[in-house]
A = this chain, B = another copy of it.
Amino acid sequence: MFNEEFQLDAPIRWGMVGGGRGSEIGYSHRAAAQRDRLFTFVAAALDLDAERGRDFGTKLGLAPERCYPDYKTLFTEEAKREDGIQAVSIATPNSTHYEIAKAALEAGLHVICEKPATIHVEDALELKALAEKQNKMLAVMYGYTGFQMVHQAREMVRRGDIGAVRVIQMSFAHGFHNTEIEKNSPGAKWRMNPEVSGPSFIIGDCGTHPFYMAGMITGLKVKSLMCSRQSFIESRAPLEDNAHVVFQFEGGAVGTLWASAINSGSMHQQKVRIVGEKASLEWWDEYPNQLRYEVQGEPVRILERGMGYLHNDDPGVSANRQGGGHAEGFFESWANLYHRYALAIDAYNRNDKAFLESHWYPDIDGGIDGVKMVNACVKSADNGAVWVDYD
């Protein structure tokens, strides 16, 4: 069970590079970092456009003077403050990760870097060495690996529930780029540009997710691989919008990865299937609360988050923020409602009746209706399950 009370002596003073206005990934970092009051967002270089970055940062609650024009200034100026940032998240295009992460580590900061860590392997290795030297955390944001059922899968493999791993089938194949949408989408455009994105589009952008997850679950290392890649939208060449990879893992397991941006009609299809001697596990990010456990010769089992039959002594498995049965998205629904409450309260405070008339939230009328329904049910049932008028 998630422990809401847990707190550090003081929250970690935290900043961001990138993730400016309009960035979905920026919002995700901020929402996640501040969720448990373990990080405080105090400074940032959010945007290449310094003015826009400052405007956006202050809207997010930063002091204007801590909205910096670039990451160098951010790191330099914050280093001068006693209350300067201790950690930074990097949410910029791929090709810039290396230099920013390097500068951050050199500035004595803990670093959370969007994936891919870098474009070149040697750069990533250099960052690792630097982090070790600086004794600082260097994390890479593989955002799907926090799901509890992924940790359950990992624990099951560790404990031998499926036997030795034989085959790993991986996919992350969506259809959102089946036409040349980058012509009108700046957020998509840089991902097709090798100078910014690196030598790969969809393998790096999507394929790395299930690849990392499969490694995390099984612990297996790749021995060799073969990749076929294509660009069905010609202007994307030399980068690929579709790729098939075949893997040989050390120890004899094999596998494949399908990474695609042109899988028309698919939402994500991020799936990892681990085939073991005795059983298989399959997880699908579109339905993250479930894990299929298929023991040969037994009925398929659908494992659900939050249940007592899981390997709950693993903290990744038992990190329930809400009981089983509730889909994890539950909190988004609640947050959406509280957002509406805030708007309503503000309108009441401003006596803005026009707003209130067109603004929906679950109000007392629904409450009254619920009480009436319960009471009518009781009356009906306790009189022999007879019909009763509602009003």
Interface presence of A76 (CB below 8 A): no
User: A254 is contacted by which of B86, B244, B337, B362 (Cβ under 8 Å)?
Assistant: B244
B contact residues around A244 at 8 Å (CB): 246, 254, 256
Q: Does A93 contact B (CB under 8 A)?
A: no
- Chain A 313-337 per-residue mask, 1 if CB under 8 angstroms from chain B, else 0: 0001001011111111111111111
Task: Chain B residues near A166: list those with CB within 8 A.
Answer: 232, 242, 262
Say yes or no: A228-B371 contact (C-beta < 8 A), given A140-B366, A324-B267, A327-B285. Answer: no
**Does A45 touch B at the CB level, under 8 Å?**
no
Decide if A35 touches B335 in the complex (CB within 8 Å).
Answer: yes
Query: A374 an interface residue at 8 Å Cβ cutoff?
Result: yes
Determine whether the beta carbon of A368 is less than 8 Å from that of B266.
no
User: Which residue of B is nearest A33, CB measured?
Assistant: B338
- Check if A83 is an interface residue, CB within 8 A of chain B: no
- Tell me whether A367 is interfacial, beta carbon within 8 Å: yes
A189 at interface, CB cutoff 8 A: no
Residues of B within 8 A of A337 (CB): 32, 139, 141, 143, 145-146
Chain A interface residue count, Cβ-Cβ cutoff 8 angstroms: 193
Verify A374–B265 contact, CB threshold 8 A.
no
Known: A135-B348, A166-B242, A367-B116. A300 touches B302 (CB 8 A): yes
Shortest A46–chain B CB gap in Å is 11
Q: Digit string of A228-251 for contact with B (CB within 8 Å is 1, else 0)?
A: 111010000010101111101000
Partner of A12, one of B119, B325, B346: B346
A5-B21, A37-B61 given; 12 more Cβ-contact pairs under 8 Å? A4-B60, A31-B335, A32-B331, A39-B342, A120-B375, A208-B373, A224-B388, A225-B390, A226-B246, A243-B381, A265-B298, A267-B325
A380 and B309 contact, Cβ closer than 8 Å, known pairs A287-B287, A371-B119:
no
Interface pair A200/B378, CB less than 8 Å apart: yes
Interface residues of A in 4-63 (CB under 8 A from B): 4-5, 7-8, 12, 21, 24, 27-33, 35-39, 56, 59-61
Return the 5 tightest CB-CB contacts between A and B, nearest first.
A265-B294, A328-B329, A117-B367, A32-B334, A146-B336
For the complex, is A289 an interface residue (Cβ under 8 Å from B)?
yes
Chain B: CB-nearest residue to A154: B360
Looking across the interface, which residue of chain B has its beta carbon closest to that of A56? B5
- Contact call A333/B278, Cβ cutoff below 8 A: no
Complex: A221 Cα to B391 Cα, angstroms: 10
- Residues of chain B within 8 A (CB-CB) of A35 are 31, 35, 331, 335, 338-339
Distance of A388 Cα from B309 Cα, bound (Å): 42
Verify if A268 is at the interface (C-beta below 8 Å from B): yes
The residues of B that contact A136 with a CB separation of less than 8 Å are 348
Which residue in B115, B225, B294, B380 is a CB contact (below 8 Å) of A377? B225
Check if A196 is an interface residue, CB within 8 A of chain B.
no
Interface residues of A in 207-222 (CB under 8 A from B): 207-208, 211-212, 215-216, 221-222
Inter-chain CA distance A332–B288, complex, in Å, is 10
B243 and A362 contact, CB distance less than 8 A: no
Residues of B within 8 A of A286 (CB): 289, 325, 327
CA distance A7 to B343 in the complex (A): 10
Q: Is A67 an interface residue (CB 8 A)?
A: no
A248, B101: Cα distance in complex, Å: 40
